[in-house]
Amino acid sequence: MITVGVEEEYLLVDPETLLPTPLVQEVRATARLTPIADEREVQDELLQAQIEVATPVCTALEEVGGHLLRLRHAVASAAEANGCRIAISATAPVRGLAPVPVTSTARYLKMRGEARLLVDEQLICGMHVHVGIPDRETGVAVLNRLRVWLPTLLAMSANGPLWDGRDTGFASWRTIIFGRWPVSGPPPYFSGLADYEDRADALVRSEVVPDRGQLYWQARLSDRYPTVEVRCCDVQLEADDAVMLAGLIRGLAATALAEEKAGAAPARCRPELLQAAMWHAARHGMGSTLVDPTGRMRASTDVLDLLMRHIAPALEDSGDLREVRALVRRLLRQGTAADRQRGALAGGGVPAVAALVMSGATSA
């Protein structure tokens, strides 16, 4: 069984105005006093109005869901005790005039010194899924086969249509903001582990990026854990949707391992086409069309059907097929969280958006 772990980032906001509130140190300190969250599971982020949680290593999707609900509850309770709330949105729907302070670590302060406005606008929150791999060479093979499905995962996860109180026209504005870093977007196709390491080392030697932590490919090898880290997804409004995406990504990894063992040729999507496909997915979410792994534009539901058929044997082997299929069908019925945010804004303005994105702390 391939192991899986999930990291989620949340915004800390004022409950009345929805404005980002720089109280991460106070919220972390309170959360650490609770018996339901370990100190290592709750961390600060680049800006002081952000907080991150990380599940333990899990083998079953039920574990992932249980840990996410536990951690969401712990952080939400700690935020409320300090006069703020957590908002589960990939972008800050509204922002204040003054920038949110940067968390005072040497790394984050250096980032702000080198990219001030870009750092000021990092009021964005993602979801990262780690899947276990036997070794880094195998991890590169997984990256090469998984990369063509990143636009589909992004479209399904879209939860960031609003910025400065208005609709951006994008389902995931977070993706556009994050894409302005020097190394971002989908990873290239690698000829093997040596190629991966050579490219990563060359980028660091160039001094454009200070370390491998700022190689912000939307899927990469983790330098901290024996995992492939998929980083393309927006944070999910409901924990069940995070579980769905974790199941899909684990299914893709398991399928990649099986194909590699069988010697099947991976789909080779050109980097410029894959980059364009990611932009299109960020723009439309699941509401229109997607570029499939062959580079063909198709209805988004058809591409999702291709994905499910592609990974169905792996989901069956892991016992995840029934749950993931049911959650995918639910997503198709109710739309993405981006669709729901837009509906809230149209129906009740920013107060309705606030109610929606703050409800995710207790929503399965």
**Residue range 197-215, pLDDT digits in tens:** 999 999 999 999 999 999 9
Tokens 């006093």 correspond to what residue? 33
Bin 262: left if φ > 0, else alpha if -120 < ψ < 50, else beta. alpha
CATH code linked to domain 4-359? 3.30.590.20
pLDDT tens-digit series, residues 124-167: 999 999 999 999 999 999 999 999 999 999 999 999 999 999 99
| Selected residue with higher pLDDT from 356 and 364 | 356
Strands (E), the chain: 4-13, 42-44, 50-54, 85-87, 126-132, 162-163, 166-167, 184-185, 216-217, 219-221, 227-234, 289-291, 297-299
Q: In this structure, what token pair is assigned to residue 6?
A: 């999930």
Average pLDDT over residues 325-345: 97
Q: Which residue type occupies 211? A: D
- CA torsion 43→46→48→51, rounded to 10°? -30
Mind spelling out the 3-state secondary structure of 266-299? CCCCCHHHHHHHHHHHHHHCCCCEEECCCCCEEE
User: What average pLDDT does this structure show over 248-271?
Assistant: 95
Share of the chain above pLDDT 90, in %: 95
CA proximity to 339, closest of 326, 325, 353: 353
Cα distances from 76 to residues 11, 12, 86, in angstroms, run: 11, 9, 6
What confidence category does residue 362 fall into, taking pLDDT thresholds of 50, 70 and 90?
low
Give 291's contacts (C-beta < 8 A, 6+ positions apart).
151, 273, 276, 277, 280, 281, 297, 298, 303
- For residue 34, what pLDDT is reported? 72
| 73-99 confidence digits (pLDDT tens) | 999 999 999 999 999 999 999 999 999
| Under 8 Å between Cβ of 8 and 235 | yes
- Indicate if the pLDDT at residue 175 is higher than 90: yes
Q: Which residue has the tokens 């939307």?
A: 218
Whole-angstrom distance, CA of residue 328 vs CA of residue 247: 11
pLDDT at residue 35 above 90?
Answer: no
Rounded distance between C-alpha atoms, residue 86 and residue 31, angstroms: 13
What pLDDT is attached to residue 287?
Answer: 95
What residue type is assigned to position 138 of the chain? T
Mean pLDDT of 116-128: 97
Residue 6: name the closest of 179, 225, 166, 204 by CA.
225
pTM of the predicted structure, to 2 decimals: 0.96
| Structural contact between residues 196 and 135, judged by C-beta atoms closer than 8 angstroms | no
Determine the pLDDT at residue 99. 95
Distance from C-alpha of 131 to C-alpha of 159, rounded to nearest angstrom: 22
Q: Is 76 helix (H, G, I), strand (E, B) or coil?
A: helix
* Nearest-angstrom CA–CA distance, 11 and 127: 13
**Distant-in-sequence, close-in-space partners of 240: CB < 8 Å, separation ≥ 6:** 65, 327, 330, 363, 364
pLDDT for position 363 = 61
pLDDT band at 44 (very low <50, low <70, confident <90, very high): very high
Do residues 48 and 101 make contact, with C-beta atoms less than 8 angstroms apart?
A: yes
Of 273, 239, 241, the closest CA to residue 155 belongs to 241
Q: Dihedrals φ, ψ of 349, to 5°?
A: 70, -165
Q: What is the pLDDT of residue 364?
A: 60
The pLDDT, as a whole number, for residue 38 is: 74
